[in-house]
Each structure stands twice: as structure tokens, then as C-alpha cells.
């Protein structure tokens, strides 16, 4: 018998996110790093809240798989220990924090975005795009969030696609450098260049220096949409979580410039949350498309077949989909310049 229970689960999805977000806000998971166990009374004392809300927070976090119960105490689950403890290589809390502070409330006005077909997190009359800001707090929060999502995605993509066949990588719109950092740490022959806006290059250079990779990863300040050509001298170009921000004509033009920048035999890798060809899922890709309605003027999520068509029209050949499972992508569309 069909019931409305699945609908209630969708309603409760917002509650689950906010439980996760407040746990990150209070530093709950970082406090429990290394296997520490905490009781309700200890939680209340440390977080400076009453025991009733402490009890509810711990129970809800356990129900979401973020905490495990051990006697009267709670400790981090493996998921929280790996991804919600500050300082860990694949810390994901920055993405949680950014979404909570900057996209959650605009999503409450999703009907406005549907009716007006315009973003809600920035004003197109004041900015060229969501990336056109030098507000120091927003720059830090946004690019830290992108790094958090990208770092584990990079690890998973590197397992799925052999970047060892290449020598020089161009990461177009590479943010703070998560992909080149991850790739270069595992592939000693690889050199990389990040093409980014000037103020983002500063963030990337800080991350690269912290990882000790300044001799192998460089940055080029530029605008991959406005510049007439992309930097040459690379045998593979990466577009990771880039094309969903823009409309089809913009993406086709960028792929044409990618083709021009690569030598014969060079490869292009498009890493994205790919829709299926029927545009009915998976949910993470379709819902990211809705988020593009909130955050961009023309962005949406596309299918692997759409990307393959655009690549073919731009002059690439042998387009194929490499599936994997990561927070920022569920697959890559790979092709080469003949």
C-alpha cells in the first residue's frame, strides 16, 4: 500500500541538514576526534546548553549516522571522524558551513527563482557572476567550501581515470587547487597549472604552499570565459564542477577553446554530477540543477550524452563516461583531440 511516508522523509530532509549544520557550528565532531566518547551531561556543559537540547542533538546526530552510541556516551561515527573533524585532509565541514550560511535561506524563496528565472544569492545588476566578488569573508567561505567538496572528489576521480598517462594538467577554474594537489601527490611525473581569477589564485597558492607543491603546481590569473584563449602547453584539461554553472552556448564556446589549447592526442576530462539521458535523476544531479537556479543565471546540470555531443561538435573524438561516486561528481566525460 502506498503511503505518504516518503513525502514526510523529504520534509525531514531539511531537519537533517540543520542538525548536521548545527553540529558543525558547535564543533561537536571536532571535539570527539580520536575516539573520544561524551555523555549528555558532558555535552551540555561543553556546549553551554541545557541537557534537554544536548540529548536531542546527540540522538538526532546518531540517527543520521554521524554519531555512534556506546553505553551512556556518544562518539563519532566513521563518517564524522573522517570528514567532519577540522584539520583532516578531507574535512567536509566547510561545505556544510557555506551551505548553511549562504544558500539555505535563499532556497526558502525557490518559488521566486522559478517565477523570475534569476539567482537569489547575488544580484546580476551588481555582479557579472556569483564568482565576481572580493568580499574577504565570502571569498574565504566559498572557496573553502569548494575545496572541501573537491578534495575527495579529486581522490575518487584519480582512482577512476588514469592521469598517469599525462605530464601537464590545466585545471580550468580550478579554485583553491584541490584536484592538482591530490593528483600531484600521487603522480610524481605530473605538473599542473590552475587558471583562475586573480583573487582565487592567491587562495590556491596558499594551499599549494601548505602542501609543499609550489615547484609542481602553478597558477595563471585569468578569466576562462572572457580570455580569447586558454594557456597552452598541457596534454590534459580538467573541467571539474565548471560547466553546470553556465548555459549551453557558453559551455560550447569554452569547449572550443579547450580544443584549441590542446595538442593532438591531448585529453579533456569533464567531471560533474551527470543527469541520466532521460533527465529523471539521479537526485543529487537533478537537485544540484535546482541549486543552479538559486545560484546562477544560466546554469543547470546536464547529461553525459549532452556533454558527448558538445565535445563531438567541438572536434573531440572517442567521448566516454567514466562513472564514480563522490560528493562533487558521479562521473567524468573523457574525450581526446585527434
Statement: the pTM of the whole predicted model exceeds 0.85 = yes
Categorize the per-residue pLDDT at 310 as very low, low, confident or very high, splitting at 50, 70 and 90.
Answer: very high
Coil vs helix vs strand at 57: helix
- Please say whether the dihedral angle defined by the alpha carbons of residues 215, 216, 217 and 219, taken in this order, is positive or negative: positive
Rounded to whole angstroms, what are the CA distances from 219 to 204, 213, 299?
A: 8, 12, 26
Q: Which of 108, 166, 234, 244 is catalytic?
A: 244
Categorize the per-residue pLDDT at 128 as very low, low, confident or very high, splitting at 50, 70 and 90.
Answer: confident
Give the pLDDT score at 255: 98
Active site residue 108: no
Angle between the N-to-C axes of helices 198-210 and 136-160, in degrees from 0 to 180, rounded to the nearest 10:
60
Contact 100, 21 (CB under 8 A): yes
What mean pLDDT, rounded, does the chain reach?
96
Contact 236, 163 (CB under 8 A): yes
Strand partners, 76: 67
What is d(CA 23, CA 36) in angstroms, rounded to the nearest whole number?
16
Give the pLDDT score at 127: 81
Categorize the per-residue pLDDT at 134 as very low, low, confident or very high, splitting at 50, 70 and 90.
Answer: low
- The model's pLDDT over 230-280, given as tens digits with 9 standing for 90+, comes to 999 999 999 999 999 999 999 999 999 999 999 999 999 999 999 999 999
259-264: long-range contacts, CB 8 A cutoff, minimum separation 24 = 259/314, 259/315, 259/316, 259/337, 260/229, 260/230, 261/170, 261/229, 261/230, 261/231, 261/232, 261/234, 261/237, 262/234, 262/235, 262/236, 262/237, 262/337, 263/235, 263/337, 264/337, 264/338
Whether residue 19 is predicted with pLDDT greater than 90 in this model: the reply is yes
Retrieve residue 226's grid coordinates.
572572457
Amino acid at each position: 500500500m502506498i503511503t505518504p511516508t516518503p513525502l514526510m522523509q523529504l520534509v525531514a530532509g531539511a531537519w537533517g541538514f540543520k542538525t548536521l549544520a548545527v553540529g558543525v557550528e558547535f564543533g561537536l565532531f571536532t571535539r570527539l576526534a580520536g575516539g573520544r566518547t561524551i555523555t549528555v551531561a558532558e555535552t551540555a556543559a561543553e556546549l553551554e546548553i541545557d541537557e534537554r537540547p544536548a540529548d536531542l542533538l546527540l540522538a538526532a546526530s546518531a540517527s543520521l549516522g554521524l554519531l555512534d552510541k556506546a553505553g551512556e556516551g556518544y562518539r563519532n561515527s566513521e563518517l564524522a571522524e573522517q570528514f567532519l573533524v577540522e584539520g583532516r585532509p578531507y574535512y567536509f565541514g566547510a561545505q556544510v558551513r557555506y551551505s548553511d550560511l549562504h544558500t539555505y535561506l535563499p532556497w526558502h524563496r525557490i518559488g521566486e527563482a522559478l517565477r523570475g528565472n534569476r539567482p537569489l544569492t547575488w544580484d546580476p545588476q551588481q555582479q557579472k557572476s556569483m564568482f565576481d566578488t572580493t568580499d574577504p569573508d565570502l571569498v574565504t567561505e566559498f572557496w573553502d567550501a569548494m575545496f572541501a567538496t573537491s578534495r575527495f572528489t579529486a581522490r575518487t576521480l584519480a582512482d577512476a581515470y588514469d592521469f598517469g598517462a599525462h605530464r601537464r594538467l590545466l585545471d580550468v577554474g580550478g579554485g583553491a587547487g584541490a584536484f592538482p594537489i591530490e593528483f600531484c601527490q600521487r603522480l610524481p611525473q605530473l605538473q599542473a597549472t590552475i587558471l583562475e581569477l586573480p583573487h582565487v589564485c592567491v587562495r590556491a597558492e596558499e594551499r599549494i604552499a601548505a602542501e609543499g607543491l609550489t615547484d609542481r603546481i602553478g597558477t595563471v590569473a585569468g578569466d576562462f570565459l572572457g580570455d580569447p584563449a586558454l594557456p597552452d602547453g598541457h596534454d590534459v584539461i580538467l573541467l571539474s564542477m565548471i560547466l553546470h554553472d553556465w548555459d549551453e552556448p557558453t559551455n560550447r564556446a569554452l569547449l572550443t577553446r579547450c580544443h584549441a589549447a590542446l595538442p593532438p592526442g591531448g585529453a579533456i576530462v569533464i567531471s560533474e554530477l551527470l543527469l541520466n539521458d532521460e533527465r529523471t535523476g539521479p537526485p543529487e544531479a537533478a537537485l544540484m540543477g535546482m541549486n543552479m537556479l538559486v545560484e546562477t543565471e544560466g546554469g543547470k546540470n546536464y547529461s553525459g550524452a549532452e556533454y558527448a555531443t558538445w565535445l563531438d561538435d567541438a572536434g573531440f573524438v572517442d567521448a566516454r563516461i567514466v562513472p564514480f561516486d563522490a560528493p562533487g561528481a558521479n562521473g567524468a566525460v573523457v574525450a581526446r583531440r585527434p
